Amino acid sequence: MQNKIHTAQSAFEHWSSTSFQERSLLLQKLKTLLEEHKMRYASLMTKEMGKPITQSLAEIDKCGWLCDYYAEHAKSFLKNQYIQTEAEESFISYEPLGVLLGVMPWNFPYWQVFRFVIPAIMAGNTVMVKHASNVPESAEAIESLFLESGFPLGIYQNLPISSNKVGELIAHPLIRAVSLTGSEKAGSAVAMQAGKYLKKTLLELGGSNAFIVCEDADLEQAIAVAVNARMQNSGQSCIAAKRFLVHERIFDTFVDKYKLAVSQLRTGDPMNPETQIGSLARVDLAVDLEKQVQQSVAMGAQVVLGGRRKEAFFEPTILIDVTPEMPVFKEETFGPVAALVSFETIDEAIALSNQSDFGLGVSVFTSNILQIKSRVRDFNEGAVFINDLVKSDPRLPFGGVKKSGYGRELSREGILEFVNCKTVVIRS
């Protein structure tokens, strides 16, 4: 591990002085190889964590989009920013920090890595990634991809280590900052260790997004989006809609239509292109989800669809009569479980949405867009999506508040997370 850290530092000393053109050319070559072999990469992903193959292929495509975005925009994002002051010249110089550590999850094994790594290396940093232990082949494939693309040795390195070694890495003087996507527990541990050594962290943690359906919403549109918002990746997504808040006058209709739509999802072999729902990534994850559902049912929730587990497979599940003190409302449910709650007024819906320790995002479906637009600041979230599901986009900053973490990935804000914003003042 020590050798890899010194390799990363040596690479940084050269890489930080390369031109944006050189970095962009390598990034475009990486994107080309990613596209040429995307079935291989997607199949690895599906094999290791169970994502349906069509969704794995879409994840690889999204990584390619990200490469294009930063290849085109990194230079303009990091150009000197000139500020008018009393001096002859004043500007901000954006400079890389050095060797960065990434601690990455299994649920989007390529996308999560790429959205940390691509802006970081385009800014001139080098990166070391401790990937999730249950996606080792994907982790190795990503490192090989960077080397095959022509990136110098040490720009990107995979660290096949256990989680208990992360603290030792953070303590190393050559590690300048840490980005973690994962659980609240893991984020807290990393932040504590990084704080001890005064190192910057970016944390993208859990979420329990609300999906609000107002009385005036286009119900067919809302239901179609609601299915994908909850069930994509078999529900294993931090930004998935998990708490469905539906106006009381349309609640019964929504339940009937949503139940029908979810029941028609195809389950089975994740390598079959027609499969829409696969097993969860591990048996223990399905067991945890089962406990949350059973505890909520014991407290009065009613299962109207699904609710059963077989090993790592958990049926797409819908619960009604859900109240805020139940696990399926107040905890993050990492699987295909939708908790439905009715509301009377938009004020009540906003209050219910905010009644969460998490704050990644919220979706609101309505015909009265101006009303919700005027209430955007009332939502304690990192994102508000009106008539759409919450999703990440290279062009927009991504991140949360409260126990969902801090810092932003993607867009210009994302590339600025791991640079030194250096003030330069010149007087003659």
Quick: pLDDT tens for 216-235.
999 999 999 999 999 999 99
* Separation between Cα atoms, residue 134 and residue 132, nearest integer Å: 6
Pairing of strands 209-213, 241-247: parallel
Count helices and strands (H / E) in the chain. 15, 20
Contacts with 252 (C-beta within 8 Å, 6 or more apart), sequence order? none
Alpha-helix runs per DSSP H in 264-377: 283-298, 327-330, 346-354, 369-373
Could you tell me the two tokens for 50? 């169970």
- Other Cβ atoms less than 10 A from the Cβ of 32: the count is 13
125 and 96 Cβ atoms separated by less than 8 Å: yes
C-alpha neighbours within 13 Å on the C-beta side of residue 75: 11
Element (H, E) at 210: strand 209-213
Reported as a single tens digit per residue, the pLDDT across 233-280 is 999 999 999 999 999 999 999 999 999 999 999 999 999 999 999 999
pLDDT < 70 stretches in the chain: none
* Separation between Cα atoms, residue 201 and residue 178, nearest integer Å: 5
Q: What is the pLDDT of residue 367?
A: 98
Of the candidates 250, 261, 330, the residue with the CA atom closest to the CA atom of residue 296:
330
Q: What is the pLDDT of residue 1?
A: 80
Active site includes 214? no
Q: What is the pLDDT of residue 2?
A: 86
**Under CATH, to which class is 2-205+404-426 assigned?**
alpha beta
Pairing of strands 99-103, 337-343: unpaired
| DSSP state at residue 104 | -
Of the candidates 249, 231, 256, 250, the residue with the CA atom closest to the CA atom of residue 241:
231
* Separation between Cα atoms, residue 247 and residue 229, nearest integer Å: 18
* Separation between Cα atoms, residue 105 and residue 184, nearest integer Å: 12
Judged by DSSP in three states, 313 sits in strand
Q: What is the pLDDT of residue 238?
A: 97
Tell me which of 204, 315, 331, 332 is the catalytic residue: 204
Judged by DSSP in three states, 95 sits in strand
Output the average pLDDT for the chain.
Answer: 98
* Separation between Cα atoms, residue 159 and residue 129, nearest integer Å: 6
Judged by DSSP in three states, 86 sits in coil
Of the candidates 200, 205, 156, 154, the residue with the CA atom closest to the CA atom of residue 178:
200
Reported as a single tens digit per residue, the pLDDT across 311-322 is 999 999 999 999
Tell me which of 63, 238, 331, 417 is the catalytic residue: 238
* Region for 64 from its dihedrals, namely left if φ exceeds 0, alpha if ψ lies in -120 to 50, beta otherwise: alpha
Question: For residue 232, what are the CA distances in angstroms to 4, 56, 356, 386, 415?
Answer: 36, 11, 22, 19, 28
Reported as a single tens digit per residue, the pLDDT across 181-216 is 999 999 999 999 999 999 999 999 999 999 999 999
pTM of the model: 0.96
* Separation between Cα atoms, residue 46 and residue 50, nearest integer Å: 5
CATH tag, 209-386: 3.40.309.10
* Separation between Cα atoms, residue 289 and residue 306, nearest integer Å: 13
The reply to whether 2-205+404-426 and 209-386 are identical in fold is no
Q: What is the pLDDT of residue 74?
A: 98
Could you tell me the two tokens for 244? 């469905």
Active site includes 238? yes
Judged by DSSP in three states, 378 sits in helix
Contacts with 230 (C-beta within 8 Å, 6 or more apart), sequence order? 211, 240, 241, 242, 244, 262, 336, 337, 338
Domain residue spans of the chain: 2-205+404-426, 209-386
| DSSP state at residue 152 | P
Judged by DSSP in three states, 334 sits in coil
